[in-house]
Amino acid sequence: MKRIYLLPNVITAFGLSCGLFVIFKMNMAAGGQANQELLTAISGILLLAGLADLL
């Protein structure tokens, strides 16, 4: 029987969902309203996904 490694799959799914969340969040922002707070939040989410992917 083939063994499925769950933790790497969960970490990869977390990174993908963070990326999709960032894309959707930028699309939901009205045109020209990408302020400093939004960009900081998005950068933090992308850094979190990147750090999780390094595990």
pLDDT recorded at residue 45: 94
Q: Which domain holds residue 47?
A: 5-54
| pLDDT, tens digit, 9 for 90 and up, residues 8-28 | 999 999 999 999 999 998 888
Q: Smallest Cα–Cα separation from 28: which of 42, 17, 16, 14?
A: 42
Helical (H) or strand (E) element with 9: helix 6-28
pLDDT classification of 51: cutoffs 50, 70, 90: very high
pLDDT recorded at residue 53: 87
d(CA 47, CA 54): 11
pLDDT recorded at residue 30: 75
pLDDT recorded at residue 10: 93
| Residues above pLDDT 70, as percent of the chain | 100
C-alpha distance from residue 29 to each of 2, 14, 20, 45 (Å)? 45, 23, 14, 16
d(CA 43, CA 25): 12
Domain count, the chain: 1
